[in-house]
Every structure is written in C-alpha cells, then in structure tokens.
Structure 1
Amino acid sequence: MSLLKRIPLFVLRLLALGATVSATAIMITSRDTADVLSMKFEAKFSNSPTFKYFVIVNAIASGYTLILLFFPAKSSCGHFILVLDLIIALLLDSSISACLAIGQVGKKGNSHAGWLPICGQVPKFCDHITGALISGFVAAIIYFLILLYSLHNLMNLFTISQD
C-alpha cells in the first residue's frame, strides 16, 4: 500500500486507539458510593459482568490497534488484518450494546421486573459510565470507517490487477 493510502488509515487507527484507551480508563475509574438506610453501598464497574466485558473488549482493541500502528507497510497479510478489523468492530459493537442495555436499566429501572433506577443514588458512577459508552461508541464508528477504507482499497486493488 502506498504512503498516501496509509496516512488516513494511520490517523484513523490513532483515533481509534485514543477512543478505546479512554473508554477503558473512564470505565475502570467509575466508582461512587451511596448511603441507603445508613448502609453504605459502592457502585463500581467490576460489579457487573457486562461492564467487565466492555473493559476487556476495549483493552483488546487498544492492544490490537497499538500493534498495528507499528506493523510494516509492505506486509502481505492485508486480508488477515481486514478480518481482524471486522472482528474487533463486531466485539466493540456487542460490548456497547450490552452496556447500553444495562445502563438503561440503571438509569430508568424496570417496573415490570421490580428493578429500581440507581443513577439517582450514584450519579458520579452513571456519568462515568455514560462517558465511557460515548468514547466506546466513537471507537466503534472509527473502526467502521477503517473497515470501509480498507474494503475500498481492497476493491481498488482487485480492479487494478484485472486490467
């Protein structure tokens, strides 16, 4: 791939790295305490398997993106990288979807199941979760753009070689 075609991909990967690292850091630092009937409760990301999944997926995406930033330009495994990009994008989407569902229950509750909203008692925790989800959503969008750009380059490569 020529240098001019690699620059936008490098910038997109750099942006994706920033978004996934910040999503991970924000989620890990989400913590708040509440006093309910003179009992102290602590809300933190590690209380929910969904939030743990979000952190693990964003950490994997961060590591993968960091490795690809230093990957040689003249590599012959472009198709394999494209497949891995697709897997990372799908993992990011699934973790965000799961966290949005849990976040909605935390914010609004579920009267049918008898679950009360908790964001009134631990607003700092909910604000951190919201920030992490926004950053994760930005990372997912950037990975979608990376996929589109890579597929566009791959299609151009096939049309040039057929001429």
Structure 2
Amino acid sequence: MAKPVKTIVLRVLAVVSFLIASIVMFLSNQTVQVQNSIKVKVKYIDWNGFLFCLVVNCIGWLYNGLVMAIPSGSQLWKTVIVLDVIVNILVGTSLGVGWQTYSLIRHGNIYAGCAPLCGITPYFCSKIMGSLITSTIGFVVSFVLIMSTLHVCVDPFLLGDNS
C-alpha cells in the first residue's frame, strides 16, 4: 500500500515552510549606528519568543521529514496522528509567542519601558516577519494534513459500509 500523494505533498510543504522559517529566523540580525557613538545590534536570540519559534520550527521540519521516511506498512503510522497533533500544538504556541514578541518590538511598550525597534532596525523586523509568516503557512499546512488524515481514518459521517 503506497502513501497517498496529497499526504506526501502536504508533508513536503510543511518541511519546506518550517525549514525556511528556521533559516530566516536563524539569519535575522542587524547592526545599526544610532547617532555617532551608539551602535545597536539586534539578533533573534535576544528575545526568548523568537528563540522558542526557531526551536519549534526545527522540531516541525525534522518531525515531518522523519515521518516521510516511515515505510507504508509500518506500525508506527498508528502514532503519527497523535504526534501530528502534538507538534501542531507546539507550533501554534510558538506562533502565539512569536507574533506577540514581534508586536512588542514593532510597537514597544511604554509601561515596561520598551521602545519600538522596527523604526531603527527595519531589516531585522522584516526578516522576523517573513519567518513568522512562513511558519504560519507551515502551521496551516500541518492543520490541513491532520484534517485530511482524520478524514481518511474516521468516516466523516460515521455511516460506515452497510453492505
């Protein structure tokens, strides 16, 4: 029994989107000269939310890549749907943290004394935004994959075969 083509395509899309999001997040940094004597260097690692996003995106592409390597008749397929849900919960959580952290560096927080950084470091902010958008696409693809797997595993109307 071969794997369905739509499952392979969705897994490849998930791997690619999580991999691109990881690479872009890892390479996001910028150094700018503010006035004449102050140099500001920002990196993704300066914020725990972005570091969490990077780690979870790496987990996402590694997991989906490993699942594609499982043979069709293996008993491991019984646990894949549960692991898909767990990985998708992790990705969704990291996206929530990542988007909130991005909002903080974009708009700042006067009550916490955090100034907005995107006016000073637009290149860094655009790379972070690109990584979060790509990770969100991977999350949507993973969700569609879970729904299609559930559709195949469980009869959607619980009608069964009456013959």
TM-score by length of 1: 0.91
Q: Which residue of 2 aligns with 1:50?
A: 49
Structure 2: state its 5+ residue gaps: none
Alignment partners' CA distance in 2, 1:77 and 1:44: 39
Measured against aligned partners, the alpha-carbon deviations of 1:11-30 in whole angstroms (never above 9, x if no partner) come to: 00000000000000000010
- In structure 2, which of residues 6, 9, 12 is the aligned counterpart of residue 8 of structure 1? 6
Report the secondary structure of 1:33's partner residue: strand
Alignment partners' CA distance in 2, 1:76 and 1:151: 17
Greater helix proportion: 1
Give 4+ residue runs of structure 1 displaced > 3 Å after superposition: 156-163
Measured against aligned partners, the alpha-carbon deviations of 1:36-84 in whole angstroms (never above 9, x if no partner) come to: 3411121111111111111110101111111111111112233310010
- Which amino acid counterpart does residue 118 of structure 1 have in structure 2? L
Structure 1: state its 5+ residue gaps: none
Structure 1 residues 162 and 27, CA gap change in structure 2 (3 angstroms)? farther
Equivalent pairs: percent with the same residue? 27
Q: Which residue of 2 aligns with 1:113?
A: 112
Q: Shift in Å at residue 34 of structure 1?
A: 2.0
Kindly report which structure 2 residues correspond to 1:12-91, keeping only aligned pairs within 5 A, or say none: 12-37=10-35, 38-91=37-90
- Which amino acid counterpart does residue 111 of structure 2 have in structure 1? H
How many positions carry a matched residue from both structures? Answer: 161
Q: Which residue of 1 aligns with 2:129?
A: 130
Could you say what the CA RMSD is over the residues aligned between the two structures, in angstroms?
Answer: 2.0
- Is 1:147 matched with 2:140? no
Would you say the 8 A contact 2:45–2:51 is kept in 1? yes
Would you say the 8 A contact 2:70–2:76 is kept in 1? no
Alignment partners' CA distance in 2, 1:162 and 1:98: 48
Please, which moves more after superposition, 12-21 or 112-121? 112-121
Alignment partners' CA distance in 2, 1:91 and 1:7: 26
